[in-house]
Amino acid sequence: MNRIFESKEEFKELYLSSVTSLSGKPFEMTSDFDRFQALVKLVASKARSVQTETEKRVHDTGQKRVYYFSIEFLIGRLLDNYLINFGVRDLVAEALKEMGSNLETLEEYEPDPALGNGGLGRLAACFLDSMAHEGIAGYGNGMRYRYGLFKQEIVNGAQHETTDDWLVHGYPWEVRRQDKAVRIGFGGHVVGTEENGRMRYHTEGTDDVLAVPYDIPVVGYGGNTVNKLRVWSAEPVEEEFDLDAFNAGDYAKAQAHRAEAEAISAILYPNDAGEHGRLLRLKQEYLFVAAGINSVLDTFRKEHGSDWKLLPQYVAIHTNDTHPAMCGPELMRVLVDEENLEWDEAWDITTKTISYTNHTILPEALEKWPISTFSKLLPRVYQIIDEISRRYNAAFDRSQDGWQDRLRQTAILWDGEVRMANLSVICSHSVNGVAKLHTDILERETLKDFYALTPQKFNNKTNGISPRRFLAEANPSYAKLITEAIGTGWLDDAAELSKLEAFEGDPAFLERVGASKHENKVRLANYVRRECGLAIDPNSIFDVQVKRFHAYKRQLLNIFKVMDIYNRRIADPNFRVAPTTFIFSGKAASSYTFAKETIRLINSVANVVNNDPRVNEVMKVCFIPNFRVSNAQLIYPAAEISEQISTAGMEASGTSNMKLMMNGAITLGTMDGANIEIVNLAGAENEKIFGLTAPEVDELRASGMHFAWDMYNADPDRLGRVIDELTDDTFAALSGNFESIYNELMNGNDHDLVMKDFASYVQAWEELTQGYSDRMDWNRRALHNTACSGWFSSDRTIREYRDEIWGA
Ligand code: 26V
């Protein structure tokens, strides 16, 4: 462990001087905010010295550099994480206490940067953590949005969005690198000139903006490697400020140019709302790709000169989903237009450098851009895509039966559109899915034509999560207990969590597992009381579904279960229900009506259930507003049931399933995404699986034999009743009935098979919760889940990427 402070005394001395010099006040007169700022500045400066050592090591050993291009990085708060990773958390906490401060209080001042939507962005952040831990020279390349994902407030049960002004007080971790700014050109026209018998192209008349990088240190556990995350901000190019207009008093005109440039990095787009086709989004994609490629090549040039054929040996560029798909064409543009390479050589270098991960099979999620828009905004990049496409089509093997269909499925340009997924596959040497089932579906369905052509490109990399953030940091009481039992080795190598299996038969230990869970439930209950004004009982089962709201994730199925249990309890006070708190949290994209209505339904059911003394002893419903990394870290440790109930075949992987498992929750889920791997690792008897499997879903849909009305009519007392309650005022008191949900189910024929899986789901829940009274056995299953969760460490995932894709 490379500790940044040897002793409390050393820390205190450095900290005192950091606080006083930054604030200009004697320590006693400084505010908690001053003290927070000074603490981050001190840790950040220590991190940067290690970064310098890391950089020297990478340079001296000629280590391969991995660049992870992602339009989202959901990094969460960093202070506690970095104190843990540098091995000084307890030392700092004690020292601060002795100085009359409290670490946890100071930590609350840190903004929680919401530079991502959900799973995809958080995965990128866990990967940075693991690359640094594994000693990989791995760098994030992304966007610095002025406003993060909207803040969610609940008003009369409904979601309201307000801006997330996360930068108002500044962000103490970042360093602006004006010297590394890159000029990015949009629009203009391509000019070709002949030079020594070869055509050369450049673009004239572009509208330029300046991409300015901000670097954030990434501290790996153990403190030996500090990498960096580089995020780009869009600004006007200085000399284009209209001084004449300003001097003439036309401030609006002078500012207009600035506003237009800054708009590019102003907001984060929801990835799951079908918000495609927005010109600003395309500008974002090109900005962080072009600026990123420029800085990658700059570093390469300094180390290896212009010997470009060495690029794949020293550099790997990974594209997280299709948002960075322009990496291929942009790299080609630089190599061919600026470095003067022949097309074939440049193409060989490009495809050997780039790799691609797919994160969803939903057809409506596949990015496409109208050629007309694309070619106007990025004329030279478009020409290059057109040339890639022309050569792909020309080289296509026409000897096989059905080649026409295969070419149509895999083409880059089709129907007046640029298909970004196909572009990504064609520009990459590796294509991977994020869980076994997901990769199977890619190979057999979504990308089957590519798989038939180049099966060797395809591979699976099941997702993972950081055990430092989601166990050590989020769940200190459990982490302490684990360390007492098996030592600290699990922080380095999460596979060591399997040593916990030896304690599954130890009643005293299981007792302590239960006590730690209880402590976490009390901690969450206190948060819920503060945030929602709702009292929840830490002795009830905490049943948790926290994730983005989406039809296929079926939060609707969960709340139908709650409505059904409520109805049955009202009808029969002797109906036995294990006392449960049903906890929901998550955001819906602002334009996604169905998802927002589901949130309103949950809050409306909560309003009725929580105020009905006939059921209050056995159930409460709680919607925690504004789900984000910081409150997620309070929720996962308190969970006992992990709801993973997507329609089978739809959830690519899921990662909250892994976070909850590691924290000792039992999965109540379908055979979907990484749930399948959870069951394989922990045994079906330690989870609770229900519902149709992916092949059964396919078969049912293909047969055309699912009829919502039949389901409704077959079960009037329970399912039928729940459906009726959507429109009969039972839950309308807060802000009305739920006709649109009703229509979606009954007239849209229940696309996500909520009604189909309803009976087996509620039954599975009842069976699972009946087992809660045997607390010893429940705690044993919880511990068993933790013991089996080590494989889901993102360290394991990253080692697979390193060995099988990046060759780093
Ligand atoms: C995009 C869209 C766009 C159009 C409307 C519907 C829709 C639905 C979902 C998406 C998701 C975009 C990609 C994404 O975030 N995938 C998530 O990636 C996680 C990390 O690999 C994975 O755990 C989740 O299962 C997967 O949904």
- How many angstroms separate the Cα of 369 from the Cα of each of 116, 375, 389? 22, 10, 15
pLDDT of residue 187: 98
For a substitution probing ligand 1, which of 318, 360, 653, 659 has the most ligand atoms within 8 Å of its CB? Answer: 360
- pLDDT one-digit tens code per residue, 450-488: 999 999 999 999 999 999 999 999 999 999 999 999 999
- How many angstroms separate the Cα of 408 from the Cα of each of 396, 404, 405, 428, 552? 11, 6, 5, 19, 29
- Identify the three-state secondary structure at position 66: strand
Residue 324 is given by DSSP the state T
pLDDT of residue 194: 95
* C-alpha–C-alpha distance, residues 525 and 537, integer Å: 7
Q: Whose CA is nearest to atom 10 of ligand 1?
A: 272
Please state, as a whole number, how many other Cβ atoms lie within 10 Å of the Cβ of residue 194. 8
Model confidence at 726: pLDDT above 90: yes
C-beta of 674 in contact with ligand 1 (< 6 A): no
Q: How far is the CA of 72 from the centre of ligand 1 (A)?
A: 12
Strands 666-669 and 641-644: parallel
Residue 348 has φ and ψ, to the nearest 5°, of: -60, -45
Query: In the CATH hierarchy, which top-level class contains the domain 472-689+759-792?
Result: alpha beta
pLDDT of residue 273: 79
- pLDDT one-digit tens code per residue, 144-162: 999 999 999 999 999 999 9
* C-alpha–C-alpha distance, residues 277 and 373, integer Å: 9
C-beta of 595 in contact with ligand 1 (< 6 A): no
Residue 255 banded pLDDT, cuts 50, 70, 90: confident
C-beta of 34 in contact with ligand 1 (< 6 A): no
CB distance 591 to 275 below 8 Å: yes
Helices within 368-475 (DSSP H only): 371-377, 379-394, 403-410, 420-427, 436-441, 448-453, 467
Model confidence at 275: pLDDT above 80: no
Q: How far is the CA of 715 from the centre of ligand 1 (A)?
A: 33
Q: How far is the CA of 120 from the centre of ligand 1 (A)?
A: 7
C-beta of 455 in contact with ligand 1 (< 6 A): no
Nearest to 432 by CA among 351, 441, 124: 441
Residue 622 has φ and ψ, to the nearest 5°, of: -135, 120
* C-alpha–C-alpha distance, residues 642 and 674, integer Å: 13
For the purposes of burial, counting CB atoms within 10 Å of the CB of 328, is it exposed (0-12), middle (13-18) or buried (19 or more)?
A: buried
pLDDT (average), residues 725-735 = 98
pLDDT (average), residues 694-708 = 97
Nearest to 438 by CA among 357, 517, 558: 357
pLDDT of residue 68: 99
Q: How far is the CA of 359 from the centre of ligand 1 (A)?
A: 6
What is the atom index within ligand 1 of the atom nearest the CA of 123?
20
pLDDT of residue 277: 72
Token digits of residue 214:
């901000």
C-beta of 644 in contact with ligand 1 (< 6 A): no
Model confidence at 251: pLDDT above 90: no
Token digits of residue 645:
């109930």
CA contacts within 13 A on the Cβ side of 686: 25
Question: Which H or E run contains 606?
Answer: helix 593-609
- How many angstroms separate the Cα of 306 from the Cα of each of 245, 298, 329, 338? 44, 10, 19, 11
Instruction: Choose the CATH number for 8-463+799-806 among 3.40.50.2000, 2.60.120.960, 3.40.50.740, 3.40.50.300.
Output: 3.40.50.2000
Residue 243 banded pLDDT, cuts 50, 70, 90: confident
For a substitution probing ligand 1, which of 271, 278, 431, 792 has the most ligand atoms within 8 Å of its CB? Answer: 271
Q: Whose CA is nearest to atom 18 of ligand 1?
A: 120
Report CA torsion sign: 30, 31, 32, 33.
negative
pLDDT of residue 287: 98
Q: How far is the CA of 448 from the centre of ligand 1 (A)?
A: 20
For a substitution probing ligand 1, which of 74, 272, 432 has the most ligand atoms within 8 Å of its CB? Answer: 272
Q: How far is the CA of 544 from the centre of ligand 1 (A)?
A: 20
Paired residues of 218 in beta bridges: 227
C-beta of 433 in contact with ligand 1 (< 6 A): no
C-beta of 365 in contact with ligand 1 (< 6 A): yes
DSSP track, 536-604: --TTSEEEEEES---GGGTHHHHHHHHHHHHHHHHH-TT-----EEEEEE----TT-HHHHHHHHHHHH
- pLDDT one-digit tens code per residue, 594-610: 999 999 999 999 999 99
Token digits of residue 711:
């389901």
pLDDT of residue 240: 67
For the purposes of burial, counting CB atoms within 10 Å of the CB of 505, is it exposed (0-12), middle (13-18) or buried (19 or more)?
A: exposed
Buried-exposed string 307-322: b where 16+ CB fall within 10 A, e elsewhere: ebeebbebbbbbbbbb
Strands 226-236 and 137-143: parallel
Q: How far is the CA of 470 from the centre of ligand 1 (A)?
A: 21
- pLDDT one-digit tens code per residue, 326-346: 999 999 999 999 999 999 999
Q: How far is the CA of 584 from the centre of ligand 1 (A)?
A: 19
Q: Whose CA is nearest to atom 23 of ligand 1?
A: 654
C-beta of 655 in contact with ligand 1 (< 6 A): yes
Q: How far is the CA of 501 from the centre of ligand 1 (A)?
A: 34
pLDDT (average), residues 493-517 = 98
Q: Whose CA is nearest to atom 11 of ligand 1?
A: 272
Nearest to 657 by CA among 470, 425, 469: 470
* C-alpha–C-alpha distance, residues 715 and 711, integer Å: 7
Token digits of residue 756:
């189909």
pLDDT of residue 687: 98
* C-alpha–C-alpha distance, residues 641 and 645, integer Å: 12
C-beta of 272 in contact with ligand 1 (< 6 A): yes
Q: How far is the CA of 420 from the centre of ligand 1 (A)?
A: 15
pLDDT of residue 571: 98
Token digits of residue 725:
């309650």
Question: Which H or E run contains 767?
Answer: helix 754-770
Model confidence at 299: pLDDT above 90: yes
Nearest to 76 by CA among 461, 478, 358, 474: 474
CB distance 83 to 4 below 8 Å: no
Report field, pTM of the whole predicted structure over 0.95: yes
- pLDDT one-digit tens code per residue, 158-201: 999 999 999 999 999 999 999 999 999 999 999 999 998 999 99
Q: Residue 54: CB partners within 8 Å, gap ≥ 6?
A: 137, 224, 225, 226, 227
pLDDT of residue 257: 87
Q: What angle in degrees, to the nearest 10, is found between the helix axes of 420-427 and 379-394?
A: 70
Nearest to 330 by CA among 300, 369, 291, 370: 291
Buried-exposed string 521-532: b where 16+ CB fall within 10 A, e elsewhere: bebbbeebeeeb
What is the atom index within ligand 1 of the atom nearest the CA of 119?
19
C-beta of 434 in contact with ligand 1 (< 6 A): yes
Residue 732 is given by DSSP the state -
Token digits of residue 505:
């038969």
State the catalytic residues. 359, 547-548, 553, 655, 659
Distance of CA 414 to the CA centre of its chain: 30
Report CA torsion sign: 565, 568, 570, 572.
negative
* C-alpha–C-alpha distance, residues 493 and 478, integer Å: 17
Percent of the chain with pLDDT over 90: 96
CB distance 784 to 42 below 8 Å: no
C-beta of 104 in contact with ligand 1 (< 6 A): no
Greatest pairwise CA separation for the chain in angstroms: 91
C-beta of 654 in contact with ligand 1 (< 6 A): yes
C-beta of 663 in contact with ligand 1 (< 6 A): no
C-beta of 181 in contact with ligand 1 (< 6 A): no
Model confidence at 424: pLDDT above 80: yes
Round to the nearest angstrom and report the end-to-end CA distance of the chain: 23
* C-alpha–C-alpha distance, residues 716 and 518, integer Å: 39
C-beta of 672 in contact with ligand 1 (< 6 A): no
Range(s) within the chain of domains with CATH label 3.40.50.2000: 8-463+799-806, 472-689+759-792
What is the atom index within ligand 1 of the atom nearest the CA of 357?
21
Compute the residue count for the chain.
Answer: 808
Residue 445 is given by DSSP the state I
pLDDT of residue 777: 98
Q: How far is the CA of 655 from the centre of ligand 1 (A)?
A: 11
Q: What is the mean pLDDT of the chain?
A: 97
* C-alpha–C-alpha distance, residues 445 and 361, integer Å: 9
What is the atom index within ligand 1 of the atom nearest the CA of 463?
21
- Identify the three-state secondary structure at position 465: strand
- What torsion do the CA atoms of 695, 699, 700, 703 make, to the nearest 10 degrees? 170
- How many angstroms separate the Cα of 422 from the Cα of each of 354, 411, 441, 498? 14, 7, 16, 41
Residue 71 banded pLDDT, cuts 50, 70, 90: very high
Residue 290 banded pLDDT, cuts 50, 70, 90: very high
